Structure 1
Amino acid sequence: MNEVSILITLATVHFIALMSPGPDFALIVQNTSHHGRKTGLTIAAGLSAGILVHSILSITGISYLVQQHPTLFSVVQILGGSYLLYLGFGALKGLYQAKKHPAGASMSSKASRVLNNQKQAFSKGFMTNILNPKALVFFISLMSSLVPASMSIGGKVSAVFILWFLALFWFSLLAWLLSTKRLQRKLEASAHYIDGICGVVFTLIGCAILWQAISHL
C-alpha cells in the first residue's frame, strides 16, 4: 500500500471514530448549549489540540512506551478517570443547583460566560482529550497498524496533520451546527436535561476507567 492509500485509510478510520459519541461529543454539546458558538468552537480547538499531542506522541513511540509501562499507564488512567468524574460531578452539581435555586443558577451561568470563559473552555477541551487513556490506546493502535516505520518523514507529518485537521473540522462543525439560532433556543430550553445526561456520561466513563486502573494495580 502506497503512502496516499495509507493516509486515506487513516483519515477514514479516524473520522468514523470521531463521529462515535463519547466524552468529546458530550463536552461540545454541554458547553455549546450553555455558552454558545464561540465557546463551542474554543472547546473544539482544545479537543483537537489534545488529539494533535496524542498523534505526535503515538507516531514517535512515546505513547507506546507509556502503555507498556503498567505503573505509568495506571497513572494516566487514574488522572483521566478522575478528571472525567470531576466534569461529571460538576455537571450534576450544576443541575442540582439549577433545580434548587433557578434564579441563582441563571446568574451563575451568566457570570461564567464573562470570567475567562474562552481560556477555560480551551483548557477543558484539551484536558478531556489528553487525559483520556482510551484515546492514548486508540492512537497507538491506529498508528502501529496503519503507519509503517518505513514511512517517509513527510508521510508521517501528513498523517499527524490529517488527524488534527479532521478533529478540528468535525468538532467545529458540531459546535457550529449546535449553535444555530433555532437549535440554540431548543438547547437552552433543554439545558438542564443536557447537563444531566452529560454528567451521567462523564461519571460512568470516569468510573469505568478508574475501575480498570484499580483492577490492574
Structure 2
Amino acid sequence: MSGGKARRGSGTTLIIGAMTLFLTIAFVQLLALMSPGPDFFFVSQMAISRSRREAMAGVAGIALGVVVWAALALLGLQILLHRLAWLGRLLAVAGGLYLCWMGVQMIRGALKPAGPSHAVALESNSRAALRRGFLTNLANPKAAIYFASIFSAIVGNSVGAGTRWGLLVLVSVETFVWFAVVAAIFGLPAIRRGYLRARRWIDGAAGAVFIAFGLTLVFDRRLS
C-alpha cells in the first residue's frame, strides 16, 4: 500500500517537474523571440512587401530553422561548440556574410523603380521565401548560442526522450505562432499602404539593418 502511494507520489512529482520545465522553456523562448533580430526584421519586411502566402512561407522557414537548432541542442550542441571553438567562429562568419548578402539584395531592390514586373514577383515564389526564412534563422549564430547555452542549461541532461520531443515541438510551434502574429500585424492593409508610399526607404533601411547584423557577427569575437 505504502509502495503504491510512493509510486503515485513519484509520478505526481515527475508530472509537476515536466510541467514546470515546459512553462519555463515557453517563457524563456517567448522572451528570446520578442528580442528584435534578423528573424523579426525578415518577417516584418516580407509581410509588408510580399503576399501573405509568401510571408507565411518565410515564417515556416524560420520555424524549421528553430527545429534544427533545438534538435542540435537536445543532442549536445553545447558540448560540441565548447570543444570546437573554431566551429562557433565559422558559424558567425558564414552567417554574417549571408546576412550582409541579403542586406545588399534589399538595398539593390530599393534602388530599382517599382513596375508591373516587380508587382507580379511579389505575389509568388513561396518556395524561395521558405528557403530564405530557413537560411536567415540558420545564419544567425546568436540562435546557436541561445540553444547551446540558455536552452541547454534549462533542459539539463536528466530529461527523458519523450520530454525532449515535446520541447522540440513546443519551441517550434511557439516560434511559428509568434512570427505568424508578427506577419499578420505588418500585413495589415494600412501598414502595407504606408509601405507602398515609402518602399525605397523601408527596403533600404531593412537592408542596412541586415548588413549591420551581418558585420556585427563577422567582427564580434565574443560570438566565437
Q: Match for residue 119 of structure 2?
A: 110
Do 1:77 and 1:213's aligned partners in 2 also have CA atoms closer than 8 Å? no
TM-score (norm 2): 0.86
Q: Match for residue 160 of structure 1?
A: 168
Task: State the aligned residue count.
Answer: 209
Q: Match for residue 16 of structure 1?
A: 31
Do 2:33 and 2:178's aligned partners in 1 also have CA atoms closer than 8 Å? yes
2:157 alignment partner, SS class: coil
Q: Aligned partner of 1:199: which letter? A: G
Alpha-carbon distance in structure 1 between the residues aligned to 2:132 and 2:58: 7
Residue among 56, 59, 81 paired with 2:96: 81
Q: Match for residue 132 of structure 1?
A: 140
Task: Give the alignment of 1:63-102 within 5 angstroms.
Answer: 64-97=79-112, 102=113
Per the alignment, do residues 181 and 201 of structure 1 end up closer, same or farther by CA in structure 2, a change over 3 Å counting? same
TM-score (norm 1): 0.88
Gapped runs of 5+ residues in structure 1? Answer: none
* 1:84-113 deviations in Å (ceiling 9; x for gaps): 00011111112223xxxx2xx424422433
Do 2:69 and 2:144's aligned partners in 1 also have CA atoms closer than 8 Å? yes
Gapped runs of 5+ residues in structure 2? Answer: 1-15
Do 1:41 and 1:176's aligned partners in 2 also have CA atoms closer than 8 Å? no
| 118-127 vs 63-72, which moves further | 63-72
Per the alignment, do residues 38 and 57 of structure 1 end up closer, same or farther by CA in structure 2, a change over 3 Å counting? same
1:2 alignment partner, SS class: helix
Task: Give the alignment of 1:50-65 within 5 angstroms.
Answer: 50-62=65-77, 64-65=79-80
Do 2:66 and 2:172's aligned partners in 1 also have CA atoms closer than 8 Å? yes
Percent of residue pairs identical: 28
Task: Give the alignment of 1:129-208 within 5 angstroms.
Answer: 129-208=137-216
Residue among 3, 18, 22 paired with 1:3: 18
* 1:30-58 deviations in Å (ceiling 9; x for gaps): 11221121111111000111011100001
Over alpha carbons, which structure has the higher Rg? Answer: 2
Q: Match for residue 31 of structure 1?
A: 46
Alpha-carbon distance in structure 2 between the residues aligned to 1:51 and 1:85: 21
Do 1:67 and 1:137's aligned partners in 2 also have CA atoms closer than 8 Å? no
Alpha-carbon distance in structure 2 between the residues aligned to 1:197 and 1:177: 19
Alpha-carbon distance in structure 1 between the residues aligned to 2:83 and 2:205: 34
